[in-house]
Amino acid sequence: MKRTIKNKNKQIVKENMGRKKLKLKRIESLKERSSKFSKRKKGLFKKAEEVALLCDSDIMLIVVSPTEKPTVFNTRSRSFHTILERFCMLSLQEREERRAYTIKTL
């Protein structure tokens, strides 16, 4: 990314590093994969908390680690069962429509 800065009749072109796209690929080492998972999980939960707060919504995440250990995260002091019951009250057709919409928007 380049940007031009004008300063007393001079033009200076600077290049910014910016964010680079990472190539996503599976991490082969279980130890490294578990470490990255732990760090990324914290970031994911933080983002979920922010979205819940900003949008006044309930969010529940079920995440399974590389070592097969499941973690459940839910926001706003709602219980796991309360959120899950609300989801289960949707008809199968409505769940499928929402799933299709979500996949389409990704």
**46, 75, 71: which is closest to 60 by C-alpha?**
75
Q: How many residues does the chain have?
A: 106
Does the pLDDT value for residue 13 go beyond 80?
no
Q: How far apart are CA 1 and CA 6, in angstroms?
A: 17
Cα Rg of the chain (Å, integer): 21
| Position 83 confidence tier, pLDDT thresholds 50, 70, 90 | confident
- Rounded mean pLDDT of 21-33? 89
Q: Which domains does the chain have, with CATH numbers?
A: 30-105 (3.40.1810.10)
- Residue 45, Cβ neighbours under 10 Å: how many? 16
pTM of the model: 0.64
Token code pair at residue 36: 């990255």
- Rounded mean pLDDT of 67-95? 86
On average, the pLDDT of the chain sits at 84
- DSSP-derived secondary structure for 13-77: EEE---PPPPPP-----HHHHHHHHHHHHHHHHHHHHHHHHHHT---EEEEE-TTS-EEEEESTT
Does the pLDDT value for residue 63 go beyond 90?
yes
